[in-house]
Structure formats: C-alpha cells, structure tokens
Structure 1
Amino acid sequence: MGVLDGVAGRVAGGATVEFRPSGSSMVPLIRSRQPVVVAPVDPSALQVGDIVLARVSGTVYLHLVSALDPARRRVQISNNRGRVNGWTGYERVFGICLSVDGVPRPGAAGRVRG
C-alpha cells in the first residue's frame, strides 16, 4: 500500500488531508513535494480541469479530470503531460485538491462533499 492509498482511505472516510505528493507528472500545477490539501468530493459536481484523488485500474493518482461522463457516473483521469490514466467510476473518486502550496484551486471548495 502506497502513500496515496493511505491518503485516499482517510479522505474517503471524510477527512481533509494535507500531504506532499512526489513525482513530476503534474508539473507545473503541482511540483514534487509541494504541500496540497485534499477534501472529500461530490463527484457529480466535478469539472474538467479539477485535480482529484482517484483510483484508476488499481492505482491511486492525484491527477486531472480530463473528461466527464455523467450518464455513466464516471470521470476520465489524466496527468498534466497528456497521458490518460483511464476512466473511473464516481465511487473511486475520493477527493478534490483544494490548494497547492497554500494557493486555493479555483472553484474547488464548492465541490467538497458536505
């Protein structure tokens, strides 16, 4: 179980979590080890461009929503370099990134699960 799996479990349980993800797939939106805050999300309120914590094909990612399919209750997840990770159901979208390095993500607070 990786770090993101643990964070996903906490967020799925209703917690808002601050952590420092590593990797370069989201540069320049998120640089490796920058602090991010992720809160539980209402997946039906997501928009393309939101950064979410989601499980796709068994792996948890902190990546972009690149497409929406509300009729089938799923979202497409991609990194910031053009790689599509795949489609995942609403039940596997755990949280939305509220801020990166203390800077709020536009509109994200309005999509937090209440």
Structure 2
Amino acid sequence: MGVLDGVAARVAAGATVSFRPAGNSMVPLIHSRDLVTVAPVDPARVEIGDIVLARVAGAVYLHLVSAVDAANGRVQIGNNRGRVNGWTNHARVYGICVAVAGRGRPRTAGKTRTP
C-alpha cells in the first residue's frame, strides 16, 4: 500500500487531507512536494480539467480528468503530460484537489461533499 492509498482511504471516509505528493507528471499545475489539499468530491460533478484523487487499474493517482462519460458514470484520468491512465467509475473517484501550495484551485465550488 502506497502513500496515496492511505490518503484515498481517508478522503473516501470523508476527511479533507493535505499532503505533499512526489513526482513531476503534473508540472506546472503541481510541482513535486507541493502541499496539496484534497477534499471528498461528488464524482458526478467533476469536469474535464479538474484534478482528482482516483483509483485507476489498481493504482491511486492525483491526476487530471481528461474525459467524462456521464451516461456510464465514469471519468478518464491522465497526467499533465498527455499520458492517459484510463477510465474509472465514480465509486473510485475519492476527492478533488481544492488547493495547491496555498492557492485555491478554480471551479471546485459545489463539487465537494460532506459525510
């Protein structure tokens, strides 16, 4: 179990979590070790361009929503460098990134959920 698995479990349980993910796949939106805040999300409200915490093909990612299939209740996740991780259903979209390095993310209002 990796760090993001633990974060995903906490967010899925209703907690808003701040942490410092490592990696460069989301630059310039998120730099390695930036403090990010992820809140529980209503997956039906996510849009292309939102950064979500989601499980895709067994791994947890903090990546962009690159496509939405509302009719089938699923979203496509990818990084900020053009790589697509795959499709996942709404039950595996745990949270939405609401802040990066102390700056609020746009278009997150009304997308978070309370337990």
* Alignment TM-score, normalising by the size of structure 2: 0.98
- CA drift of 1:9 comes to 0.2
Q: Which residue of 2 aligns with 1:94?
A: 94
**1:109 and 1:34 mapped to 2: Cα distance?**
21
Distance 1:73 1:22 in 2: 29
- Displacement of 1:25 in angstroms is 0.3
Q: Which residue of 2 aligns with 1:10?
A: 10
Task: In structure 2, give the amino acid aligned to 1:56.
Answer: V
* C-alpha deviation, 1:109, in angstroms: 3.1
- Per-residue CA deviation, residues 37-74 of structure 1 (Å, 9 max, x unaligned), is 00000000011000000000000000000000010000
SS in structure 1 of the partner of residue 110 of structure 2: helix
CA drift of 1:108 comes to 1.0
In the TM superposition, what are the counterparts of 1:13-32 in structure 2 within 5 Å?
13-32=13-32
Task: Return the alpha-carbon distance in structure 1 between the equivalents of residues 55 and 94 of structure 2.
Answer: 8
Structure 2: state its 5+ residue gaps: none
Count, aligned residues:
114
Measured in 1, the distance between the counterparts of 2:7 and 2:35 equals 13
Q: Measure the CA separation in 1 of the matches of 2:66 and 2:42.
A: 17
Alignment pair present for 1:46 and 2:46: yes
| Superposed CA RMSD | 0.5
2:109 aligns to what SS in structure 1?
helix
Ranges in structure 1 where 5+ consecutive residues have no aligned partner = none
Structure 2 residue aligned with 1:103: 103
User: What is the aligned partner in structure 2 of residue 61 from structure 1?
Assistant: 61
TM-score (norm 1): 0.99
User: Structure 1 vs Structure 2: percent identity of aligned residues?
Assistant: 69
